[in-house]
Structure 1
C-alpha cells in the first residue's frame, strides 16, 4: 500500500455554480443546460514511494464520467476517472506499475502506420523522465484483456521536476489521451538539507504541501470543430469507437450532435477532471503551481492572473538557472509539456487563468493550433487568523528570492562547446505531409541514425514546410537550443504524386525525391545548387572510424560517376597515403566533410606546393561526406546482416 497525502488548500464546503441553470442528470438534456463551472479544485489521488519503491496499479477501463455537474460521458480512463493518480517519487526510486487492460476485444480494421486504429489497445509511457527506453517502449502493445508490469528505475542523479504519463500506442495514443488517460508524476526535491531559507523546498512537498497546487490540463471536451478540423467526436468516428453518446434528445438530435453544435461552444479543457474549477489561495502567500498540458492538440498561452506575480522556475522537468517573469505576462505551454510556477497574489479577489493567444505575439509558435479559453478561476482570500505582526514577518519571508537547484552533470550547458567535443552531426528536415528527411515513416524500419552513448551531438532542425509549424520532441533525452539561424533552403509543396521542392526564388527543384541528393549532385556537377540547404547532407551522418580504404574508395566512386573529375583532381593514391599519416598523427576517428577540409588545410600547411596542384577542395569535401553517408553506412549494415 502506498501512503497517501492530502493538500491543505483552505476551502469551503459550499459549491458555487457559475452556469446558467441548476442542472441534474435527469433533466439536463431536455433543458440543454450549460456546464457547471467554478467548483473548488480537487487534487487527484497522491501516491508516494516507500522504501525507494512506488508500486501501483492502473486499470484501463470504460467508465461513466460526469463533468460540468451533469454531463455523463463514456470514456476510456485510468481507474475510472478523468486523469489518473499522481505519482510522487524521489531520485533512486523504482516505479512498478501493473497495467491492466480491461477494455473489450473488438474487431479492428488494420490501417497504415501512424493512423487512428486499435481503439482498445494501449501501453504506458512516462513523458520526460530519463529512464531506460527498453522499458519506456512505445512499440509494446497491451491488447484488450491483457496486462503488463512495468518497472522503471529512476536514476540517483535524476533531476527533480514535473512530468506525466499517458498511453503511447501507435494508432490509439491520441484518442486515449483525449479520452482522459493521463496523470502527473513528481520527482521530489532533496529535502534532507532544508537549511537554506531560499530553497525551493520551502514551497514544495513533502515539507510544505500546503503551498503546492497540481493542475493537469486535459483536452477532454473538444467537441466543437476548431480551425484545424479537430473534434473528439470526429476522432471517435474515425477510430470506430462505439461509445459515442448517441442518446436521442427531445428535439431529435443526439447528445453528440448537441456537443458539436457551434452555439453550445463545447470546446473546453478540463483541469484535474473539472470544468474551470476554482483554486483558492491565501493573499500574499507564495505558492508553487505544477502545470501539465496533457494532450497533443493545442499550445496553451497562459496569461498570468492580474494582481499576481508569476515566475517560471522549470520547464519540462528541468529547473531554470533562476526564476524568470514570463515575457508579456504569458507562459507558453506547448503540447505535452510541463511548467512550474511560483505565484503570489497580493490583492484579494477573483481572477481568471486563461489561455489567451495573440497571433502577433510569440511568432515562434507559428501556425500551431492555439487554445483560447478559460482553464481555471483563482480566488484569493486573506487569512483572518494572521496577526498584524505575523503578516509583516510573513510578507518579508514571501518576498525573499528563491534559489533553484543545479542540474546534474549530464545536463551541463552546451553553449560555446568546442567542435572537438562534438561526436556527431545530424539534420532533421520537416516537410509537408509530416515527412521527415524526405522519407515516409515506417514503424519497423531500421534506425536512420545512430549516436554513441554519452556523446554530444549537434543537430540542425530545418522546417521546409511553409504551411505548418512542427514541434520537435525527443523521447527520453532532453536537448538544448544553442542558436537560431536564417533558413535559405528549399520549401516543400504537396503534389498529387507526393512532395516536391522549390528553391527560395520559387524555381522547381529537380530530382528532389527521397534519393534526390545523389541525382542532384551528379547532374549539377559543381557547387551545390539552391535546391537544398547548404548543410543538409554534409552534416547528416554519424561519427564513425575511417581510414585510408574509405578515402581511396571515395575516389574510385566519384571517378566512376564523373570520369572528367579524374583530370581535375588527378591520381589520389599518394594523397591517400598522406591522409593516413594525418589520421595517425592526430588520432582522428570521427570524420565528416568538415574533417576532410581540415585534412587539406593541414596538408597545405605542411606541403605548401600542394595547394597549387590540388586546388580548392571544399566541394570535394562535401561529396566525400555524401559518400560516407550513403556508401559506408550501407556497407557496414550489410556486414551486420
Structure 2
C-alpha cells in the first residue's frame, strides 16, 4: 500500500504565513490512500451461504437468524472479535420470491440489545426492524410479511438507536435477494455466476481489533475476505455490489478500463441495461452489474477516486482514495452465458401531478430540518395510498446519503437536472451533493400504523447515530398519528 499526500498551494501559503495547524488540517484532508496494484489477492472470496428455510403450516417461508459473538481472521495478523448472524461474521443470504410470505425468527445471542432492519423492503412498520423493534439479549423477534415488490438486491443490518455503526462494523450484515421472472433473464446461479459482493472497510487497532470510530478504514474486505479473488467460470458474471461500509463512498470500475453493464439499482432491475465505466455507491446503496469475461484473464474491481465536491469530505469519506477491491480470474474454458437482454423490467413512472404534498428536508451537521432524532416525536404524517415529493438538500461540507424506510422512490431531478442512468430506477438511498437539491417521488401504499414509525436518515452510520434521523408514520385517511412507544425498543416482539 502507498499513501499519496497531496499538498495544495493553500497549504504552502499557510505554512509560509505561520498557519501550521491549519496547513496540517488541510494536508490531512487531502491525503489519499492508493492500493492499486499493491494487493496480492491471496484469498478465495468467501460467498455467504444461502440461508436454510422451511415452509410452515401456514405456507410461510421461515428463516432463522441468530446474532452471536465470534472471532474471525480479517487480515490484521491475529483473530478479530466479531459479530455475525449464524456464524462468526456477517450472515447468510436470505432469498425469497415475489408473492411469498416470509417469517424470520431473529434470536439475540449478544450481551446487549440489537435489531434487524430489512433495508429496502416494503413491509409493515412493526416488521421493519428499526430502533423501535430492538430485541433484548436472549429474546427472539419474529416478524412476518408478504414479499410484494420486484426482484432486487436488498440487505439486512441492525438499527439500534445510537449504536448502528458499531453493530454493523462488527459484522452484523447480510444480503436479502428477491427473485421474480425478470431476474431469471440474467445470470442467477448463486455463487457461480450470481455473486454477492458485500464491501466494507475497517481500521484496526494495535491489537487487531476493529476500531468503533465509524470512520473510513484502510483495509477493504469483500464478504469478510481480505485480498479476495473470484474464479469466474462463465462468460458473464453478475456482481451484486453492496456498500455496507459505515462511511466510505466507492466509485467502482474495472482496472483495465473495460465497461460493465448496469442492470439494477437499490430497488430492482432497470428498464434497460446501461454500459458504464464507473458507478458511485454511498453507504447503503446497491448496484447489480454484469461483467463480460474472456479466457485466461485477470481484472480487478477497483474503487477509483469518487469526488465528493469538498476537500475535507473527500478525505474523510475516501473521495480521493484508489482501492483494489476484488480480483476476477478466468481459466481457458468458460461456460457459455446468454447476452444481457435489451429489456429488463418495466417501471411504472410516478406522476408528479399526483403528489398530494411536497416536503423539504435539509441535512446539516447532525440534524435534519434543524432537529436531532427524538424517539418519541413524529416528524411527518403520511396518508396511506398517496404520492408525495420529497426535496432533500445538504447544506454542509460533510457527505450524507439519504435513506427512506418502507418505500422505493424515483429520482425526479438532481440539482434541477434529469437523473443519470444509475439513478433512473427504483432507489431507497441517494448520495447528496453540497447545496444541490435531490427531488424524489414515492407512493406510500398498503400499510398504515399511527403508532409505529418508519425512519428516514443519513446512512453514514455515525451521523445517524448522532441524531441525523427522523420518523414518519403512515395513517389511514382522516386518522391522527399516535405516540411511539419509546420504551418498546427494549423489548422482544416475538
Q: Pick from 444, 451, 476 the counterpart of residue 382 of structure 2.
A: 451
Q: How many residues align?
A: 378
Pairing 1:145–2:75 present? no
Aligned to 1:345: 293
Whether the 8 Å contact between 1:224 and 1:266 is mirrored in structure 2 is no
Pairing 1:267–2:218 present? yes
Higher relative contact order (CA 8 A, sep 6+): 2
Whether the 8 Å contact between 1:224 and 1:267 is mirrored in structure 2 is no
Whether the 8 Å contact between 1:213 and 1:290 is mirrored in structure 2 is yes
Deviations 1:148-167 (A, max 9, x none): 22223212xx1101111011
Deviations 1:446-496 (A, max 9, x none): x2221221211122222232x223221111112222123479xxxxxxxxx
Whether the 8 Å contact between 1:46 and 1:85 is mirrored in structure 2 is yes
Whether the 8 Å contact between 2:165 and 2:212 is mirrored in structure 1 is no
Q: Which has the higher helix share?
A: 1
Aligned to 1:468: 398
Aligned to 2:366: 434
Deviation at 1:50, TM superposition (A): 5.2
Aligned to 1:129: 121
Aligned to 1:565: none
Unaligned 5+ runs, structure 1: 1-17, 19-33, 105-119, 191-198, 226-230, 237-259, 387-393, 488-532, 534-635
Give SS of 1:47's match: coil
Aligned to 1:203: 186
Aligned to 1:43: 47
Whether the 8 Å contact between 2:39 and 2:324 is mirrored in structure 1 is no
Rounded to whole Å, the distance in 2 between the matches of 1:35 and 1:96 is: 41
Give SS of 1:442's match: coil
Larger Rg, first or second structure (1 or 2): 1
Rounded to whole Å, the distance in 2 between the matches of 1:306 and 1:235 is: 34
Whether the 8 Å contact between 1:323 and 1:402 is mirrored in structure 2 is yes
Would the alpha carbon gap of residues 404 and 48 (structure 1) be closer, same or farther in structure 2, given more than 3 Å must change?
farther
Pairing 1:383–2:333 present? yes
Pairing 1:317–2:267 present? yes
Aligned to 2:474: none
State the TM-score, normalizing by the size of structure 1.
0.53
Whether the 8 Å contact between 1:292 and 1:338 is mirrored in structure 2 is yes
Q: How does 1:462-611 map to 2 (within 5 A)?
A: 462-465=393-396, 467-485=397-415
Deviations 1:37-75 (A, max 9, x none): 422222111126555633222222221112339530111
Aligned to 1:331: 279
Unaligned 5+ runs, structure 2: 2-37, 418-435, 437-478, 484-494
Aligned to 2:233: 282
Deviations 1:86-130 (A, max 9, x none): 0110012222222222223xxxxxxxxxxxxxxx22011100011
Deviations 1:504-558 (A, max 9, x none): xxxxxxxxxxxxxxxxxxxxxxxxxxxxx9xxxxxxxxxxxxxxxxxxxxxxxxx
Give SS of 2:344's match: coil
Give SS of 1:142's match: coil
Whether the 8 Å contact between 1:200 and 1:403 is mirrored in structure 2 is no
Deviation at 1:318, TM superposition (A): 2.1
Pairing 1:171–2:152 present? no
Whether the 8 Å contact between 2:76 and 2:204 is mirrored in structure 1 is no
Whether the 8 Å contact between 1:82 and 1:272 is mirrored in structure 2 is no
Rounded to whole Å, the distance in 2 between the matches of 1:418 and 1:297 is: 32
Would the alpha carbon gap of residues 62 and 35 (structure 1) be closer, same or farther in structure 2, given more than 3 Å must change?
farther
Aligned to 2:349: 413
Deviations 1:603-637 (A, max 9, x none): xxxxxxxxxxxxxxxxxxxxxxxxxxxxxxxxx98
Give SS of 2:150's match: coil
Q: How does 1:103-252 map to 2 (within 5 A)?
A: 103-104=110-111, 120-138=112-130, 139-155=132-148, 158-190=149-181, 200-205=183-188, 210-219=192-201, 221-223=202-204, 232-235=210-213
Whether the 8 Å contact between 1:180 and 1:218 is mirrored in structure 2 is no
Q: Pick from 84, 87, 92 the counterpart of residue 94 of structure 2.
A: 87
Q: How does 1:362-401 map to 2 (within 5 A)?
A: 369-370=317-318, 372-383=322-333, 394=336, 398-399=338-339, 401=341
Give SS of 2:380's match: coil
Rounded to whole Å, the distance in 1 between the matches of 2:333 and 2:316 is: 42
Whether the 8 Å contact between 2:54 and 2:63 is mirrored in structure 1 is no
List, as ranges, runs of 4+ consecutive aligned residues in structure 1 with deviation greater than 4 Å.
34-37, 48-52, 360-363, 365-368, 397-400, 636-640
Deviation at 1:185, TM superposition (A): 0.7
Aligned to 1:391: none
Would the alpha carbon gap of residues 400 and 103 (structure 1) be closer, same or farther in structure 2, given more than 3 Å must change?
closer
Deviation at 1:36, TM superposition (A): 7.8
Q: Which has the higher strand share?
A: 2
Aligned to 1:72: 79
Whether the 8 Å contact between 2:186 and 2:340 is mirrored in structure 1 is no
Rounded to whole Å, the distance in 1 between the matches of 2:404 and 2:359 is: 14
Rounded to whole Å, the distance in 2 between the matches of 1:418 and 1:267 is: 43
Deviations 1:408-443 (A, max 9, x none): xxxx213xx363x22112111222x22211233212
